Structure 1
Amino acid sequence: MLSYLHGFHAGNVADVHKHAALVLILAHLQKKDKPFCVIDTHAGAGWYDLSSTQAQKTGEWKAGIAAAQQAQHIPAALAPYLDLVTGFVPENLHNEEAGGTDAKPFYYPGSPFIVQKMLRESDRLSLMELHPREYETLDRRVYHDRRIHLQKRDGYEGLVAMVPPPIRRGMVLMDPSYDVKQDYARAAKSIMAAHRRWATATYMLWYPILTDGFEGELHQMFRQIETPGGVLCSELAASHGGARGRMLGSGLLIINPPFQLDGQLAEIGDWLVDVVTLPGPAAHRLDWLVKAQ
């Protein structure tokens, strides 16, 4: 399985896939004046310096966000995400430690700060992070924003305990580390339990697609969800390549996706296949596991 601290992987192909979808869902929530809330169950450190020693060691961002930014004929559905990333500058940089290399800083926003940039005054963001060092870093970075509530808590149990929230419009993002294969089932069970209590929300689960094929269990579990909004699956992955147990790509399972998100993700995914680098011949697959009514 994966050994995962996101500083090594920030801005990679999986982030582009996941965060592009996140921006589209948030843009849909912004269309109404009523406030919305977002629950991010595995928040990480908030943002990442791609010039840091960690990011430079793997260089995964070069095949992901850098490749997307440098490409031509960017799809309209992807442009808001790329604009947000390109214009992102963290606050209070004087409180941060140096990145550890002489490279020019290049800051990539993780999901907490992508959401923060799209919050309005009445909207709210709840973050959970259990890793001590990641939590301390995130706490330092978001403490001043009264719209954001951070807890040092296990995201799987925390999600179920927190729903339904006081603001009933909103979404849940879950993107665990998948350090062990049991995380696939834990993620699915947590989201399914939360959905029973807060059925109108949009839920987005990110997962790695590995050579071992563990994502099949997720598909089977999500096909059992009863919801008029349907369950959409988007997977961007190579058919083969890389060492056993390594990532071939990434997937998204989205409960109650916004209207027309399927078409937007199809446009983005088909474009990314020709732009980003995966371990082997790649394709984008889009499928409704549960059809919307």
Structure 2
Amino acid sequence: MLSYLHGFHAGNVADVHKHAALVLVLAHLQKKDKPFCVIDTHAGAGWYDLSSPQAQKTGEWKGGIAAVQGAANIPAALKPYLDLVGRFVPENLHNEGADDGGAAGGKPVYYPGSPFIVQKMLRESDRLSLMELHPREFETLDRRVYHDRRINLQKRDGYEGLVALVPPPIRRGLVLMDPSYDVKQDYARAAKSIIAAHRRWATATYMLWYPVLTDGFEGELHQMFRQIETPGGVLCSELAASQGGAKGRMLGTGLLIINPPFQLDAQLAEIGGWLRNVVQLPGPATHRLDWLVKAP
């Protein structure tokens, strides 16, 4: 896990899928005046420069956020996410040694990771807990969020940290987990961590991102999540190609959501049905939406 750096993959198809859903869940939490909290277990560096050597080396953002921003007939459910990304400008860029006039061959130059997507949607009474274990990513994130008193950052393993932090003092909230999956054991570790946390904080919404691979490791996740007892149900959203060539290659992106907000299934169906014709995947893509555990 410590070898993974998200800067190579920022703004790709998986980020679009994951962050579009994240914005919709946060918008639902904003509907009530009561405060909410968010726990982000694998926070990364916070935001990413798409003109950096890392991003330019892979160019994954071109088939993700750039393709989406350049498309027509954008679904209404996707617009809040795109508006947030389009307006995002990191604070204190002069401290980063970044070039404000840089370009990555198209907009946006700077892409917000989940910590800064959440930060932009926090109110004064809301709280955000971030965890990051990679030393370089942690130092960068610490420098970028230090001034925000609503945010608590810890250098720790997100799997054990999640269970230790729940239930939080604010009982309305969301957990986001998106590990690197550098090893196949991460699928089971992620599921076990979320299941243990759900036993202690059953009313929260949980979002787990995972890659859809040719190896089919996500099947284990599905089986484990089908055993979760929750009145809010468990929703699965997958955007993936049916074929991807080399063994181990990523076919697409998946989300498992425990206690999804009302109508999130319809919103993700609208987004996924549109994205499959716009983003770049190894082949023709489909969007699958299933209830692994049905809500009443």
TM class by smaller structure: over 0.9
Match in the other structure for 2:54: 54
- Give the TM-score, by structure 1 length: 0.97
Q: Of the candidates 179, 182, 189, which is equivalent to residue 179 of structure 1?
A: 182
Letter in 1 for 2:144: R
Q: Of the candidates 99, 112, 124, which is equivalent to residue 121 of structure 1?
A: 124
Structure 2 SS opposite 1:78: helix
Shift of residue 97, structure 1, vs aligned partner: 2.9
- Counterparts of 1:268 and 1:97 in 2: how far apart (Å)? 36
- Counterparts of 2:5 and 2:215 in 1: how far apart (Å)? 21
Match in the other structure for 1:234: 237
Letter in 2 for 1:207: Y
Structure 2 contact 13–61 (Cα < 8 Å) conserved: yes
Deviation digits for residues 95-130 of structure 1, max 9, x if unmatched? 00347x964570000000000000000000000000
Deviation digits for residues 64-92 of structure 1, max 9, x if unmatched? 00000010000000000000000000001
Match in the other structure for 1:70: 70
- Counterparts of 1:239 and 1:125 in 2: how far apart (Å)? 37
Is residue 1 of structure 2 the alignment partner of residue 4 of structure 1? no
Match in the other structure for 2:221: 218
Shift of residue 281, structure 1, vs aligned partner: 1.5
Structure 2 SS opposite 1:172: strand
Pairing of 1:52-201 with structure 2 (within 5 A): 52-98=52-98, 103=103, 106-201=109-204
- Give the TM-score, by structure 2 length: 0.96
Q: Of the candidates 278, 285, 289, which is equivalent to residue 286 of structure 1?
A: 289
Match in the other structure for 1:204: 207
Letter in 1 for 2:96: E
- Counterparts of 1:58 and 1:131 in 2: how far apart (Å)? 21
Letter in 2 for 1:76: A
Structure 2 SS opposite 1:248: strand
Shift of residue 243, structure 1, vs aligned partner: 1.7
Structure 2 SS opposite 1:25: helix
Corresponding pairs, count: 292
Letter in 1 for 2:227: Q
Shift of residue 196, structure 1, vs aligned partner: 0.1
Match in the other structure for 1:19: 19
Structure 1 SS opposite 2:38: strand
Match in the other structure for 1:267: 270
**Which ranges of structure 1 fall in alignment gaps of 5 or more residues?**
none
Match in the other structure for 1:36: 36
Is residue 232 of structure 2 the alignment partner of residue 243 of structure 1? no
- Counterparts of 2:194 and 2:78 in 1: how far apart (Å)? 27
- Counterparts of 1:190 and 1:92 in 2: how far apart (Å)? 35
- Counterparts of 2:283 and 2:167 in 1: how far apart (Å)? 42
Deviation digits for residues 136-177 of structure 1, max 9, x if unmatched? 000000000000000000000000000000000000000000
Letter in 1 for 2:81: Y
Structure 2 SS opposite 1:77: helix
**Which ranges of structure 2 fall in alignment gaps of 5 or more residues?**
none
- Counterparts of 1:214 and 1:164 in 2: how far apart (Å)? 29
Letter in 2 for 1:95: N
Letter in 2 for 1:48: Y
After superposition, the Cα gap between the structure-2 partners of 1:102 and 1:33, relative to the gap in structure 1 and judged at 3 Å, is closer
Structure 2 SS opposite 1:278: coil
Same amino acid, percent of matched pairs: 89
- Counterparts of 1:33 and 1:55 in 2: how far apart (Å)? 39
Segments ≥4 residues shifted beyond 4 Å = none
Alignment RMSD: 1.5
